Structures are given as C-alpha cells and as structure tokens.
Amino acid sequence: MTEYKDRLSRLRGGQNEIANHVIDEFVAGRLSRRELLRRGALVGISAPVLGGILAACGSSSPSPSTSKSTSGLSNQTINVGIITPAGAINPITIDDQGGLDMLGQTGEYLTFSDQTLTLQPQLATSWSSNSSADVWTFNIRQGVKFSNGQPLTADDVVYTYQLQTNTKTGGNALSALGGVLEPSGVVKTGDYTVEFHLEAPNGNFPYLTSSDNYNMIILPSGYDPAKWQSSFIGTGPFVMKTYTVNTGATFARNDNYWGPKAKPAATNFTFYASQTPGISALVSGAIDVLGQFTVTGGEELLSGGYNVIKLKSSAHRELSMRCDTAPFTDPRVRQAIALTLNRPAIITALFKGYADLGNDSPFAPVFPSTNTSVAQRVQDIAKAKALLSAAGHPTGFSTQLIGVNLLEIPDYAQIVAQAAKAIGVTINVKVESSSVYYGKATFGDSDWLDATMSLVDYGHRSVPNVFLTAPLQTINAKTGSGAWNAAHFNNSDYDKLSAQYIAAVDLSTQRSLAGQIETLLLNETPIIYAYFYNYLTATASTVTGAYPTAIGHIFVYNCTKS
C-alpha cells in the first residue's frame, strides 16, 4: 500500500491542480478508466503519466489510436469519394463536410480528437491550464515545416488564432471560439510556446483547438487564407497536386513530413453531389474509400463484401423553429411538433438501428457528461393536440420547412411533415442544394439561418461546447455567440447555465448542469434533436487503414490495398 501511494504521489508531483483533481477522481472511483484517459488527455496529462496511473491502480496502459506506421510505404494511389465541397476551400469560411475533408488532407491542428473522443498531440506536444482554466499554455512541436519549406513556430499559431477569432473576418471558427477567445488573448511566450487567455473559464478548451474545430488548421504567419485553395499549404503528410472545383483533388506524399510518412504515394479524391453516385463508384471499383454513407440508400454496403467502419457519435440533425416568428413564438407549439415524432421508428426507418435516441437537447449519449436521469420524450399525439389547442391553434396551421439535400435529410423532412399531419399542421417541405441552403451562412443571407423551420446537418464533436453555444446562445454579433442560432432562441437562463457548464472542469459538475440544461430545453424546445446517428465509412474489402473521424474527416495516410 505504501509503494502504491508513493508511486501515485510521484506521478502527481509534476501535475497542476486540475490534473491532480482528475487523478483524485479516478482513484476515488468516480471516473472510469476510459473517462480517466479522456479527461486526463484534456487537461494535459501525458500518455506515460496516464499509463503509470493505470498501472499503479492495477489497470492496463493506454495505447494511442492514431499513430502512423513507420513502414510499408508503397507506390499505390488510394481513390477516395467524398461529398462535393459547398464553396471555396478557405480555412476561414469552410462550414461543410466536403470542405473540412479538404482542409484535413494537408492541414493540421494543435490537437487531434480521435475515434474514442480522446485528445492526441499533433502540432502541440503538450498543454496545461492554470487553476481556474481560463489560461491554457500550449507547447508547439519543433522541427515542423510547412509545405513551402517555412518552419513552424509560435508566430504561426498566434497569427492563425488571432485571424480566426477576429469578428471582422466573420470566420466559421467563431461558432466555437466566439465569446471564448479574443485576438488579444493569444499571446506568444516563447519561440514555441503560446498562451490562450480566455474570456471565461473553459474546462474543455483544448477540444476547441482540435480537429473537431475543423477550420483551425495552422497557417503560416501573414498568409492570406483566401489563397489557400491555390496552394493547400500545410504541415500534413500530403501535399496538393491538383484541385478542380466541383470535380476532385489529387495529393502526393509529403516526403518532408515531420512524422512517419504516408503509406500511399498519392491519393485521388472524387467529389459527388450525393451519396448515390459515390456508392455506385465504390461498388464498381472506381474508388477504394467512401468517406461517408448513410443507411438509407447504403444497404448494399452493409450487406457484406465491404469494410464498414461504424463510429458512435454526436452527429445529428437540428430541426429549428423560429422562436421569434409566429406560431413558434409559443413554446407549446414547438413542444407539440416534437411530440408528434416516433423516434424509435425514425431510427429504424432511416438508420436500421445505427443511431441513438435524441431528447431535444444536444447532449448525445456518447458524451460522458450527458445526464441520463432526464426522462426521454416520447410520441404523444393527444398531448400535442392539447398543447396546440391551448396555444390558440385548435385546427393547426401551415408553415414551410427548408432543409439541405444531404444524406437522409430529405427523407427525415418528409417524416416530420407526415407526423405533423396528425395534429392538423401542414408542413411544406423544400429541400435545397448546400450552396443555396447555406448561402453566406450569415443572418439575412442564408435559408439555413432565416427559414421559419430549418433542418440542418451537424457533424460530430467530442464535447458539446459548440452545440451549446453556436445554435442556442443568444445571438451577439460582437462576441460571435449564437452564430448558428437558426431558432433565434433568446433565453437568459439558458445562457447562464450553458456558460456554467462550459466553465466546469469536473465531470460530476458538468453532468449536474447538463441535467438542468436538458430539462430547460425540453420545456422550451427551440430545436428538435430526434437522433444521433452512427458515422459510417466504407472501403473495398481489399483496403485497410482508412481512418475516419465522426465529424467527417477521412484520413488515408495509413491506407494500403491488396
């Protein structure tokens, strides 16, 4: 027992206060092994120290899941199919899956969120916070060069983060960083050290520096992001050879990469406007990897003969109802629409079970902080009719729902419209292409953000911060909060609770606050969250090594085909 305590004491000796609290929580039995690995990596406890803690407590050591093999280089070209990017490949403006896929081929992040939702070092080798979690210090990897030969230093990190947090740029990363970090809070403290002085405590901040915040690839200092599509400049394992708008892109192995070299010599990406031609291309052998598919329309891939990668995720669809536009100004109307949905039947119909139930909050079952004690909302037509009548609409009403033409969304929109008929509500569905639907992705210039009812795709995140801020916090152009608030939801109690959740570093505190947020959102129902679907990627049976992330990246640096 003395030896055990001495070993733990030595391991704790080099950690800060927050890290030691995580260790104490694990030793006391309040964190599982998996939660220790996630929380420990989040607060900057290194993999060797985590392994030592587990060993001291009689458990096995962690093994990184994203390591690249140092052998097996080939002359192969891996052919990949993905959804067509919705606009220019610009790190500031990208807000779609095809675009983020392109960013990730040559660009890299300070940290990487892997398939287990655990942070791994990438361009940052380590990080830690002060005791209040409002100052985070990141140590930048040395010996890294951009594809133009320029060395990576702290100056590049400072430039990138100051650029992305400047509200004048209107950058997409403000959905995660708005109200969290201002340009003045990004401070160089050494050639390879950067401090982030946050606007308020943030226990999950390192996730906002990760691949989850997909815009945040590190750019060379002074580089014009509007020119990125012409160069794809980055520090990653591939360099761009060609890029053709709406058609595809090719990449070659980066022989000057700082880490283990990519196994394939080249990759060839083909863009598809929908999943149907992508599936056909995989079936015919035209491509080796399909970045994503959904169950509806992808039954052939699930029936056998292909390698299918299934990831539990927080990816979902948000059905927003304008809280500032009649009849949705009354929460009873919004609740009534939510009560018409048979969620288990939707999961069966659209996903054949490859999804989890949603309970009208962004807290997905995959999040450790989700409070599962809050009762699940179920279909109740009688209650829905009563609520609608009490709100002054006993015979229903008519409205329009605008959605994006992506994967199962058109089918889901029709299910919503059919369900609403049971309470006398007529929903006219309009499905648009990504470019039309997103528009400029700003209020007043986007059907996504302006429609009375809007149905949009949300990619996976490893923590719920972005889901809590961008679509639900009160819109504030100055800070960037509420940047994706298509519901135009304005609730001071919610704003306070979500801020408290974001500041919390303790899992039990997060879970308690999550329960309060879940309950509030069930009462208000600005957005319907009916399901959180599994992320599905498929490869030919001869292909190994593809690594998707549930947010939508597809990495093929380890791919080989026999």
**Are 424 and 435 in the same domain?**
yes
Q: Check: CB of residue 449 under 8 Å from CB of residue 475.
A: no
- Bridge partners for 168 per DSSP: none
Those residues with Cβ within 8 angstroms of residue 19's Cβ, 6 or more apart along the chain or in another chain: 40, 43, 44, 45, 128
**Are 46 and 17 in the same domain?**
yes
Domain-embedded: residue 73:
no
**Are 369 and 478 in the same domain?**
yes
What tokens appear for 455 in the block? 């149905």
pLDDT of residue 61: 43
Half-sphere exposure of 540 (CA within 13 A, CB side): 21
Domain of 153: which CATH number?
A: 3.90.76.10
pTM of the model as a whole: 0.83
Look-up of token digits 């299934």: 310
Q: Check: CB of residue 332 under 8 Å from CB of residue 387.
A: yes
pLDDT of residue 41: 81
Those residues with Cβ within 8 angstroms of residue 6's Cβ, 6 or more apart along the chain or in another chain: none
The secondary structure of 40-68, three-state, reads HHHCCCCHHHHHHHHHHCCCCCCCCCCCC
pLDDT of residue 316: 96
- DSSP class of residue 376 equals P
**Are 269 and 395 in the same domain?**
no
- Bridge partners for 458 per DSSP: 316
**What are the C-alpha distances in Å from 188 to residues 23, 197, 199, 270, 304?**
30, 11, 17, 40, 52
**Are 505 and 550 in the same domain?**
no
**Are 412 and 511 in the same domain?**
yes
Domain-embedded: residue 457:
yes
Residues of the chain with pLDDT under 50: 1, 4, 60-67, 69-70
pLDDT of residue 8: 53
pLDDT of residue 240: 98
**Are 300 and 395 in the same domain?**
no
**Are 221 and 326 in the same domain?**
no
Those residues with Cβ within 8 angstroms of residue 12's Cβ, 6 or more apart along the chain or in another chain: 20, 23
Domain of residue 12, residue span: 2-56
pLDDT of residue 38: 75
Domain of 330: which CATH number?
A: 3.10.105.10
**What are the C-alpha distances in Å from 11 to residues 4, 14, 130, 176, 534?**
11, 7, 18, 33, 37
Domain-embedded: residue 91:
no
Domain-embedded: residue 86:
no
Amino acid at 198: L
pLDDT of residue 4: 47
If phi > 0 it is left, if psi is from -120 to 50 it is alpha, else beta; for residue 106 that is: alpha
Q: Check: CB of residue 82 under 8 Å from CB of residue 554.
A: yes
pLDDT of residue 141: 98
Domain-embedded: residue 440:
yes
**What are the C-alpha distances in Å from 397 to residues 14, 76, 179, 389, 455?**
63, 58, 38, 11, 19
Q: Check: CB of residue 282 under 8 Å from CB of residue 538.
A: yes
Q: Check: CB of residue 291 under 8 Å from CB of residue 83.
A: yes
Q: Check: CB of residue 465 under 8 Å from CB of residue 497.
A: no
How many whole angstroms separate alpha carbon 359 and alpha carbon 378? 9
Number of domain units in the chain = 4
For 346-496, strand residue ranges (E) read 355-357, 398-404, 426-432, 453-458
**Are 496 and 541 in the same domain?**
no
Look-up of token digits 């990449």: 251
